[in-house]
Amino acid sequence: MLLCGNPAPFVLLHWRLGADHAMIICVERQPERTLGGCRRRHLLSVVMNETIGHMQPAMIDPFGRHVTYLRVSVTDRCDFRCSYCMSEHMTFLPKKDLLSLEELDRLCTAFVAKGVRKLRITGGEPLVRKNILWLFRALSRHLGGGLDELTLTTNGSQLPKLAQELKEAGVRRINVSLDTLRPDRFKAITRWGDFAQVMAGIEAAEKAGLEIKLNAVALKGVNEDEFEDLIRFAHGRGFDLTLIETMPMGDIDGDRTDQYLPLSIVRARLMDRFTLEDIPLRTGGPARYVRVAETGGRLGFITPMTHNFCESCNRVRLTCTGTLYMCLGQNDAADLRAPLRASADDRLLMAAIDEAISRKPKGHDFVIDRRTKQPAVARHMSVTGG
């Protein structure tokens, strides 16, 4: 109500009363100004969170996009060595360089206070991090109090032992990476992966009552003959399936140009076998969905190369060392570890987050360079968070 007494006219957008805090989101109408080369009415969102004790401006980038989705890589390590993601002989970060789980909790809490509604825990493989369930349990306190969803992306290897505990920790929906249904091909793609263990993990997640979406990277000459089988497998079990174009990130000990398969070609091929109906479903991420009439299931396409999704980007990515990447396909980044450790309160951290969001670019620069065959971004996806 304090906001309503301000001389500037405010409009209430949302309010929520939690067990130990209250949150109000409103907008202040301000005069038109030029942003990104075009004139538009600027809306300044404000978040008031009593647990922080002072007003927190929401995260709006220079192009008017609200940042409401944080992807957090809790480790760069993985128990697989997928051929499109990393070298087989990776050099990982020293464990001493990683943020503690308590520090990751504090960072995520700051982002929730600034308007993040969806948290996705990633890696590497997030479930190989020691005591990772502690972080899920800690972050679940924000559910219903500003945070709408706490989820993760996993290769499935650790789900046989952790699926039920993840559900009890507040996770309701997970993404599982599965590029093939053939055990021999699975071993060739993942190098170190165990197909039977991943299948057991998917079954454990189903038994625990977790909603499952499968992610498959489209790889030319590798799994392009399996997309129909993957669709029928996923939809036959009530799962969504998303196909993803390979992205030029990091040295993979091979020629990425040979792997690249445009999803425009994949979609055209699928339309010879299925009826694909566009639907308006949005899950907070970059996928664009269709309904497959013959199965009744949903099929997503993530196309960073053939049709980027930058115009609606609502995401930033935090690494396990406290580096914030405002764009997956750009190298510009902000160090949040220094302000996090410099003070017991969050004022320096909040200021660093605001400064970083003010530098979020309009879009990425992904390109498959067939001349140099070098990745567009030198860091591996496992560092940034897949």
DSSP reduced 3-state for 149: strand
Residue 313, pLDDT score? 87
The pair phi, psi for residue 177, each rounded to 5°, is -80, 125
Do 25 and 11 form a contact (C-beta atoms < 8 A)?
Answer: no
230 Cβ partners below 8 Å, 6+ apart? 178, 180, 181, 214, 216, 241
Number of C-beta neighbours around residue 375 at 10 A? 18
Given the DSSP bridges, would you call strands 323-325 and 240-245 parallel, antiparallel or unpaired?
Answer: unpaired
Q: Order of strands, edge to edge, in the sheet holding 298-302?
A: 276-278, 288-292, 298-302, 240-245, 211-218, 173-177, 149-154, 118-122, 69-73, 315-318, 323-325, 333-335
98 Cβ partners below 8 Å, 6+ apart? 75, 320, 321
pLDDT along the chain (386 residues), means of 10: 42 45 45 38 42 67 94 94 83 90 98 97 96 98 96 98 98 98 96 96 98 96 96 98 80 65 95 96 82 98 75 91 90 95 96 96 63 49 56
Do 323 and 73 form a contact (C-beta atoms < 8 A)?
Answer: no
Amino acid at 292: V
Residue 92, pLDDT score? 87
Closest CA to 85 of 326, 252, 293: 252
Residue 95, pLDDT score? 86
Residue 55, pLDDT score? 54
Query: How far is it between the farthest Cα atoms of the chain?
Result: 68
List helix spans (H) across the chain.
101-113, 132-139, 159-168, 183-190, 195-208, 227-236, 263-270, 337-342, 347-357, 381-384
DSSP structure class, residue 284? S
